[in-house]
């Protein structure tokens, strides 16, 4: 007993320095660890509709069977379920909202819960923390995914003008993409919303050149198309003056990183999904590679900083895209324009019926396919009968894409499944998540899409309670 007592009670003078050192280590280590593992910045990259099939098609067509995409190099990987509150297959509105807000909602709803009540997003939470925030999309900035982070509307199809106004009212620091028509006077009750942005101190860009030459303003609005931005495949033939997704993302980072408290940026490669709806395999390849180049730019910017969490994922999968063994990669790589561009080259008779001769010409010229008379008539009949539940104006390009995919034996859901689908062909397939940087280790195993917001805000030390509504949108 006396021996034990002496060992714990007696502290010799020469032990004192070591004792102090141990105490200092114990006191400081948790703080240092917390600082090291707490990201100052978060960059969330969303490839709309980008499932494993699209990723594999892009890898095969760009680099061959032994190639590696940049997103595949990120340290941590997880799988994500995507169902919505009212459907086991989500649309982009509910899928984007689940990622942004941490709660499930109904298809077609943006930034609201399943009862229609407004809820805050992680963008709101980062902004409340004093961080700069930005959204980017190669669709419209008022479309489902970007809107889920910056606005709340009960229905995606009727809320475009309202979303544009909310983006202004919320003073989001950087907004880049398409959809300028929703900011103009005819959709804003006679008020020019772009002028309001300018008067509020935003830099304004409408072309690639203007974006690259704009100085570093505190805030930036770049709107490069009245509606959706052009497909990567069509930019050359259309002489497009639009910036690419990597260019928009790099500019956004330049501006947002000027702040002293860090930033949150969501950048969406939105046209992957559009190409998938159309079963346009060549377009899927090109759009996914542009998205992957964005991943490369972001990772290169972040890799030497140790203060930025990078997360790469999709909101859902579309059309069950797969890299089938039978797919004629060589033939598909020869196609130089999108199925949408091809659809605009067709001609119509006085009854608004497609001219059969134009069908023959378009498929031969752009897809190197010689259709038989029966195939031409089948194509026209399919377009006539196939009204689809959503996006009816795209039914011609969708039929072109499906015809080409069938001819070149690509893996994709049948056109009849797409036509009967309330989402235009989305599936419930799980989505891969790739992550790197401080906090990325939490992306592990199989998770829900609602977990993404929780993981990101917890890693960044940003207060966030899914389902609450504090900030007025």
Which of the residues are catalytic?
92
Distance of CA 447 to the CA centre of its chain: 18
Question: What contacts 438, CB < 8 A, 6 or more positions away?
Answer: 36, 37, 38, 39, 306, 307, 308, 309, 459
Strand partners, 175: 135, 221
d(CA 434, CA 445): 11
The edge-to-edge listing of strands for the beta sheet with 132-140 is: 202-205, 219-223, 174-178, 132-140, 263-269, 41-47, 308-313, 431-436, 76-81, 445-448
Question: What contacts 265, CB < 8 A, 6 or more positions away?
Answer: 41, 42, 43, 44, 133, 134, 135, 136, 174, 249, 252, 253, 256
Pairing of strands 426-427, 219-223: unpaired
d(CA 72, CA 74): 6
Extended beta strands in 415-469, E state: 426-427, 431-436, 445-448
- Alpha carbon distances (Å) from 330 to 5, 236, 287, 364: 82, 21, 18, 16
* Total residues belonging to the chain: 473
Label residue 127 exposed, middle or buried (CB < 10 Å: 0-12, 13-18, 19+): buried
Query: What is the DSSP code (8-state) at residue 112?
Result: B
Q: How many CB atoms lie within 10 A of CB 41?
A: 26
In degrees, rounded to 5, the angle at the alpha carbon of residue 380 between the alpha carbons of residues 378 and 382 is 65
Report, in angstroms and rounded to the nearest whole number, the Rg of the chain calculated over CA atoms.
25
Are 59 and 322 within 8 A, CB to CB? no
d(CA 452, CA 432): 12
């Amino acid at each position: 007993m006396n021996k034990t007592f002496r060992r714990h009670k007696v502290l010799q003078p020469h032990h004192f320095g070591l004792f102090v050192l141990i105490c200092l280590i114990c006191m400081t280590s948790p703080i240092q660890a917390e600082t090291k593992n707490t990201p100052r910045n978060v960059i969330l990259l969303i490839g709309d509709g980008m499932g494993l099939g699209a990723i594999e098609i892009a890898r095969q067509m760009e680099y061959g069977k032994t190639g590696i995409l940049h997103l595949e190099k990120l340290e941590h990987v997880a799988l994500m379920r995507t169902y919505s509150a009212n459907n086991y297959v989500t649309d982009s509105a509910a899928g984007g909202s689940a990622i942004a807000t941490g709660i499930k909602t109904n298809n077609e709803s943006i930034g609201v819960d399943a009862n229609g009540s407004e809820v805050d997003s992680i963008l709101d939470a980062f902004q409340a923390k004093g961080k700069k925030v930005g959204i980017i999309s190669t669709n419209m900035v008022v479309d489902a995914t970007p809107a889920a982070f910056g606005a709340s509307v009960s229905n995606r199809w009727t809320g475009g003008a309202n979303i544009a106004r909310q983006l202004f009212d919320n003073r989001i620091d950087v907004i880049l993409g398409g959809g300028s028509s929703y900011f103009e006077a005819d959709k804003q009750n006679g008020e020019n919303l772009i002028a309001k942005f300018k008067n509020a101190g935003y830099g304004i860009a409408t072309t690639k050149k203007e974006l690259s030459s704009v100085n570093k303003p505190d805030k930036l609005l770049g709107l490069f198309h009245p509606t959706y931005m052009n497909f990567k495949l069509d930019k050359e033939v259309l002489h497009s003056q639009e910036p690419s997704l990597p260019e928009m993302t790099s500019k956004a980072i330049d501006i947002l990183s000027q702040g002293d408290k860090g930033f949150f940026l969501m950048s969406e490669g939105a046209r992957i999904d559009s190409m998938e709806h159309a079963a346009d395999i060549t377009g899927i390849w090109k759009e996914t590679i542009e998205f992957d180049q964005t991943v490369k730019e972001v990772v290169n910017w972040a890799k030497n900083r140790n203060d930025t969490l990078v997360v790469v994922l999709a909101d859902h999968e579309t059309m069950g895209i797969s890299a089938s063994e039978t797919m004629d990669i060589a033939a598909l790589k020869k196609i130089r324009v999108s199925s949408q561009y091809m659809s605009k080259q067709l001609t119509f008779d006085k009854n608004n019926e497609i001219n059969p001769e134009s069908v023959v010409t378009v498929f031969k010229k752009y897809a190197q396919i010689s259709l038989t008379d029966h195939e031409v008539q089948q194509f026209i009949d399919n377009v006539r009968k196939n009204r689809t539940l959503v996006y009816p104006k795209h039914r011609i390009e969708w039929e072109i894409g499906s015809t080409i995919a069938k001819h070149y034996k690509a893996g994709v859901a049948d056109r009849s499944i797409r036509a009967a689908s309330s989402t235009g062909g989305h599936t419930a397939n799980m989505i891969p998540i790739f992550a790197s940087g401080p906090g990325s280790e939490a992306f592990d195993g199989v998770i829900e899409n609602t977990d993404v917001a929780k993981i990101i805000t917890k890693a960044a030390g940003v207060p966030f309670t899914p389902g609450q509504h504090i900030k007025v949108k």
